[in-house]
Each structure stands twice: as C-alpha cells, then as structure tokens.
Amino acid sequence: MSGSRPYRTGRAAMLPVLLLCLLLAVTMAAGLKWGSRVFDWSALSAILWAGGGGTLERTIVLDIRLPRILLGMLVGAMLAVAGTLMQGALRNRLAGPELLGVSAGSSLAIATITVLHLPVPFHLHPLLALSGGLLSGGAVVLAARSIGGTGMLLTGMAVSAMLNGMLVVLIALGTGNDVNLLYAYLLGSLANRGWEQVARLLPWCLIVLPIALGLARSVNLLQLGEETAAGLGVRVERIRLTVLVVSALLVAATVAQCGPIGYIALLAPHLTRAMTRAQDTRVVLPVSALCGAALLTLADQAARLWLEPMEIPVGVWTTLIGGSVFLLYIVLRRGGGQHG
Amino acid sequence: MANGGPVRASARRRLLLVCGALAAILLLLALLHLTYGRSALSSSDMWRALLGTSEDAGARHILWQLRLPRVLVGLMAGAMLGLAGAILQIVLRNPLVEPSLIGVSAGSVLAIVLAMQYAPTLLGSGWRLALLAMVGGIGTTLAIYALNGRKGNHGARLALTGIVATSILQALTSLLLLRQQQGLASILLWNFGSLNGRVWTHWQSLWPWGLTLIALALLLARKAAVLRLGEEIASGLGLATGRTRLQLLLVAAALTAAAVSVVGAIGFIGLIGPHIASRLVGGRPLRLFPVSALLSAVLLSGADWVSQSMTLTLALPGLEHRVSSLPVGAVTMLLGAPFFLYLLRRSRPG
C-alpha cells in the first residue's frame, strides 16, 4: 500500500469535514421537514425548540423522524469505523463486515432469537449478535489466512451464503410470510425504529467508539506491514485480533438494531481517503465515521422520500449503490493489485 | 498412447457404470418423492395410486397432478443447471464458477421481474418468459466476461466480480418486487429458488428448452474438449476458439436462464454436480457433460426432497404447528457453500 508516504496532519481534512457536516445538516433538516406530512420551516422550528405544535405534530417530528435520523447517524458512523479498522488491520482495501461474514453471523443470531422466541432480554441481543458475528468472522479469517486477500473475501461470501441459507430456512419455517422479518434480517432497514433503539445502541456507541479511536495508532503501524510493525515492537497478532473484535462489536451492535446494512462500511473509508488524501488512521477514522453517518442518513432519507408512500429498506439502496462502486473499484484496481 | 485401447475401453465401462448407477438413483429418488411426501395420505395409498389400483381420487390427484410434475421439473432444472456449470467451468477455465455465482441466474431473474412489472403482456406463455430470462442471463454473462477482460478470467477474481454483481442484481430484484408489493414470498422464490407449487404448465414451458439446449450442449462437447487443451493448441488444431467459446457461453447462459425462469435462482447445484462428476469420470467434456447433468438432477431432486420433508421432523420450540415449505434453494445453498470453500482452498494452495 502506501505506507511509505509521509503521514499528513489533519489540516487537509478540514474542507471535507465541513462539507460532510453541511451535508449531514441538510439531510437532517430535509428528513425532518418532508414526509407523508410536510411541515414548513417555522412550524418545524417551533416544534423543535419552542415546544409548539399539536400532539400529533410533536409525535411525528420528535418521536418518529428525529430518532430515525439519529439512529441512521449512529449506525452509519459505527459501520464506517468498523470498516476502516478492518481494512487497516487486514491490510486489504476490499475488507468489510458484509464481505467477511460478520453481518450474516450477527443477523442469524438475532433472527434465531426472534423467530424462535427465545427468552433473551433486549439489552443482551447485541452480545449474542456479537458472538454470532465473531464466530463467523473469526472462522473466515482463520480459514482464509493462507489464501490471500481475494480468497478471504470469497471465503467470507461463501460463509455468508451459508448463513443466509440458514436464515431463509429459519424464516420460511418459522413465520410464514412475515415480510418485516425479511426486511430486518436480510435487507437491513431503519424504518419503524424509535428512541428505544437509539437508547439501546447509544451505550455501545459511547463505549466502543472511543476504544476504536484509541486503536488508530496501532492500526497505523499494522498498515506498514507485518514485519515492519513487529520490528517496531507491535505484537501483531494480538493487536490484529483486538481490532477485529472491536470492529465486530461495532457491527454486531448495529445489526441487532437494524439488520445488516451493506457496503457503508466498505464505501465510507474509501471515500474518506479519496477526499482527505490521508492514510493516517487517526485522521481517516473520525472523518470516515462522519462520512458513514452522512452517507447512511442520506441513503435512508432518499429511501424514505423518493418512492413515497412506499418504502424500500435502506439496505437495498446501499447494496445497489455501494455494490456498484465496489465492483467498479475491483475492475479498475486490476492493474495494480497484488492480492490476486 | 500404445495402450490407449484398453484404457479407453475401461473408461467407457466406467462411464456406463456411473451412468447406470445414477439413473438407478434417479429412479429411486423419483419414487421416494412420489410416495413419501407430506400429505395426510399414507405412502401405501400413494403406491396404489402409482400402480393404478387406487380408487381414491385425492391420492391420484396428488400423485399425478402435484408430485409428478414437481419431480420432473426438479430433475430437468437440475440437469440444466449442472450442465451449465460444467460448461462454464471449462470455458472460463475456472473451477470456482457456477451460474449463480457469476451473476447469470441473478440477471435472468432480474429480466423476468422487470418484464413482470413493466410489460406483463409480454409474458403470455412460458417460452417467452424463458426467452426474456435468456436476454438477462446472456447480457450479464457477457458483461461480467467483458468486465474481467480476457486475462482476469482466471482465479478467484472472476468469482468475486460475479458475487458482487449478483448482490447488486439481487438488490435490484428485491427493489422491484418490493415496489410491486409482492414481498417476501416472491423474493424468496426468485432470489433463492424454489420448486414449491410447480405443476404441469411449468413442465410444459421447461422441457422444450431443456431438451433442445441439453442436446446442443452435448453436440458442442467435442469442441469443448478441444478448447480444454488450451488456447494455442486448440487454435493450432483448427478450432475457431473465440467463436466456440462464445457458443458455449451462450448455451450455458441459455440453459441457466431457461431453468431459472421456472424455478428461480437455485444456487450451487452447477458447482457441486460437475465437480463430483469429474471425480467420477474425469474431466473430458464428452463424458463430463452427460454425467454432470445426471448427477445434478439427482442432487437437486434430493435436496428438494429434503427441503420438503424437513418440516415433518423438525420440532423446534414455537414451530410445532407451522406448516410451510422450505425453498429448495436454501438447502442447496447450505450444501453448496461449504463445498465452495473446499474448492477455494484446494484451488489456491499456499
């Protein structure tokens, strides 16, 4: 990769950060204003700041639209951070939770709980999702250790296919025609979520994101290559394992609330690196969190508003757009890639 | 070369043996399928219906109108998918490819769903549906082939491109189906593949395509054998390699599309069948093609039987009184994905 390039400081990141904040603010405002009921700006600000508006209006804005946007931001940020960490730790720019089987494992765990009505309290769901994600992700990483980057992705996809097969078995056997379950466990959606989900996600976010930021320095060293990192006194395997567990944790927490939302984790780091021209994980990590938040809220609001009143789960859109970009990237990279 | 005669004779004997055994298994599976299914009627009733001695109209209806067409569709679709897989593996010189892995199935499904939504009048009869599916399947094949370029078709990269393309096409299909408010049932049907509710009309729209294309593929087997020797040797022997490759690709895509237009995107059958077949009779297309078709028919039919009878025995908490049918695509996925992993590890040592 480009480990030899001198790391830049965060100054080059200022403009992208400002732009992303602007994008996020615009998306948020648009998401609050439009929908099956359109508010004008003064009414909106009255509801938000002055406690105005009727009960119905307040419910729509404060209990339906606002938590959804916040949830989208949190999930997007967590996914993007997870993607950045994975790509750094595995030194593979194509790595992402959806391609390594982590998302599929987590959603299978959550689906098992829901479909079979297992008596598990809600706040433990992320932990079970984590164990599912870690099991499948760990299996993929271990199984593919010797076969290089592309091989690892293919292994991940095969494992995902297997887990998705089990998921379909579970849904088909368990629930007949429950479309909502499919949205939640196969496609990934932010619809019909409220403050409850935000509250469940927030602790994970607050605990794990700082840890992830703390790992940025180690990821920087890992990016230099295994031998260089070991020469600099890094315990490569242990750090790598920590990083993977942390990113699996981030993904699992989001999957427990929203299902597997694809390709955000893959796309956000790439976009960030392209925008900031930085390789330093200490810069890339926070900016890509912002980028992921902006991307996911944008995609979600587009999914909500474009085909109104129909709603397509946001996971479909992110797969469509993110997958296409990813495909383009694989094809263009062919010349220079050394990983197969 | 001097002792080519006896070797060839023993290989032929082996081929006959394998084919005979497969045909026997096929027959056995069909009987199993017909008589041991999920219904209130006992299997002795079904046997009587099969032998024509039953007075029970219900049993006769179940056997002749519901189970038999399903068995036949399963066998034909399995054979077509297996053959398509075998052809693709030879043409692309890549052991990891399979119709559903390189996006052919997903492209076919997308074409069908598009037509269902925007031009339902086009779908008058089954053969038109298959034709539309072929447009989608062939288009996707050519696109993937072109995206990878001639050099990139080796190794795992083609599979990676194909899988990503598949997920994009599947997302598009889900999008269209969701807009149409058809929801889960049809997404499962099309994206995973299912044999549930296949009746005689499905069989009628499948068999003409199936027989024609299988015959065509077997006719091309000799050329495929030459192609398998490598680009330079093949063109040295006077084969128009580019044209042959294109012909084979088109036949494989058409086989897949015709099968998919009836049963949906059933995955991994075209991967497992040909690989086991090449273990049994070697990699020469003249033997490989028919054996992988037979073997894949056995596999799909067996997987279908498993998926049908699974609900009989499964007693998970909360599921006891559910009666629903599992799509066979889920079962083939569960069987096929580990197999893919095994191939992946074997194909890239070190």
A182 to B187: CB separation less than 8 angstroms, yes or no: yes
Domains and CATH numbers, chain B: 94-311+324-350 (1.10.3470.10)
Closest CA–CA distance from residue B135 to any residue of chain A (Å): 21
What's the farthest any 2 CA atoms get from each other in chain A?
65
B324 to A176: CB separation less than 8 angstroms, yes or no: yes
ipTM reported for the complex, 2 dp? 0.80
Closest CA–CA distance from residue A110 to any residue of chain B (Å): 16
Residue A325 CA neighbour count, 13 Å, CB half: 16
Rounded to 5°, the CA angle A201-A84-A190 comes to 35
Tokens 């992303």, residue located: A20
From chain B, the residues in CB contact with A164 under 8 A are: 333
Distance of CA B222 to the CA centre of its chain: 22
Closest CA–CA distance from residue B325 to any residue of chain A (Å): 7
* CA atoms of B46 and B161, how far apart (whole Å): 47
Provide the residue ranges of all domains of chain A, joining segments of one domain with +: 81-259
A117 to B350: CB separation less than 8 angstroms, yes or no: no
Residues A268, A76 contacting (CB under 8 angstroms) = yes
* CA atoms of B209 and B131, how far apart (whole Å): 10
Q: Which of A178, A319, A334 shows the shortest C-beta gap to B167?
A: A319
Q: Which of B96, B314, B333 shows the shortest C-beta gap to A173?
A: B314
B147 to A165: CB separation less than 8 angstroms, yes or no: no
Share of chain A above pLDDT 70, in %: 89
Mean per-residue pLDDT over chain A, rounded: 82
Burial label for B295, CB within 10 Å (0-12, 13-18, 19+), is buried
What value does the mean pLDDT take over residues B183-187?
Answer: 60
| Cα torsion angle, A11, A12, A18, A23, sign | negative
A116 to B316: CB separation less than 8 angstroms, yes or no: yes
SS3 content of chain B, % helix, strand, coil (to 5): 80, 0, 20
* CA atoms of B350 and B339, how far apart (whole Å): 19
A153 to B160: CB separation less than 8 angstroms, yes or no: yes
pLDDT tens column, B66-112: 888 989 999 999 999 999 999 998 888 878 788 888 889 999 989 88
Q: Which of A172, A179, A323 shows the shortest C-beta gap to B330?
A: A172
pLDDT tens column, A137-191: 888 877 777 666 677 778 888 888 888 888 877 777 666 555 566 666 778 888 8
Q: Which of A169, A307, A316 shows the shortest C-beta gap to B174?
A: A316
Mean per-residue pLDDT over chain B, rounded: 81
Q: Which of A154, A162, A319 shows the shortest C-beta gap to B338?
A: A162
pLDDT tens column, B268-295: 888 889 999 988 888 888 889 999 999 9
pLDDT tens column, A122-132: 778 878 888 89
B164 to A323: CB separation less than 8 angstroms, yes or no: yes
* CA atoms of B62 and B200, how far apart (whole Å): 12
B337 to A116: CB separation less than 8 angstroms, yes or no: no
Residue B205's alpha-carbon distances to A257, B84, B122, B216, B258, in angstroms, are 44, 19, 15, 18, 9
From chain B, the residues in CB contact with A323 under 8 A are: 164, 167-168, 171
Instruction: Say how many C-beta atoms besides its own lie within 10 A of residue B151's C-beta.
Output: 8
B155 to A150: CB separation less than 8 angstroms, yes or no: yes
Residues A130, A71 contacting (CB under 8 angstroms) = no
User: End-to-end distance of chain B based on CA atoms, in angstroms?
Assistant: 34
Q: Could you tell me the pLDDT band of residue B171, with boundaries at 50, 70 and 90?
A: confident
Architecture of the domain delimited by A81-259: Orthogonal Bundle (1.10)
Q: Which residue of B has its CA nearest to A309?
A: B179
